[in-house]
Amino acid sequence: MSEQAVYFYTRHPISAAIICERLRATRGNLDRVRPEELFAHDQDHYGGLAANDALAAAARIGAGTRVADFCAGLGGPARYLAHRYDADVTGIELTPARVAGAAELTRLVGLADRVRVLAGNVMEVTLGAGSMDAVVSQEAMLHVPDKARALGEAFRCSSQAGGSPSRIGR
């Protein structure tokens, strides 16, 4: 993957620290933060929550759905899908600072049992073949140098491999 992408996302203007600062300013502390309280701060993609809902509908995400989120960043969409749709989400993220930030924010809102963001490269995913019901990604795929390889990994991870690839979200 691109060293430039790691450089960019390590210095991205939205970080776990900034999100926590915003929460402290809004609510005074970080005690018993609810997932909904993060949504105004942790959706660092175009379209916000409406985009997540459209993606969930397109990928038929619902209760118990196993979802892979390629280029998961700080895990905002992953937490939203887990909270709103009761999905089990595994994010794959290249940037170590964002993996750590995703873990911090996920623990903060008590979703660590249904959301994890793993350090990894979406062109070489360690998830098992057919282990996911749906694979989604928002925006960051533009940094992936071999998109066909990443999409091949998405298809390989999807339980729909051999069936309809319609559960691979945009």
Class of domain 3-163: alpha beta
Which residue is it, tokens 């924010």? Answer: 105
Query: What residue ranges do the domains of the chain occupy?
Result: 3-163
| Per-residue pLDDT tens listing for the chain (170 residues) | 567 665 555 666 689 999 999 999 999 999 999 999 999 888 877 788 999 999 999 999 999 999 999 999 999 999 999 999 999 999 999 999 999 999 999 999 999 999 999 999 999 999 999 999 999 999 888 889 999 999 999 999 998 654 444 444 44
pTM: 0.87
CA distance 122 to 89: 15
Nearest to 86 by CA among 109, 56, 58: 56
128 secondary structure, DSSP code: P
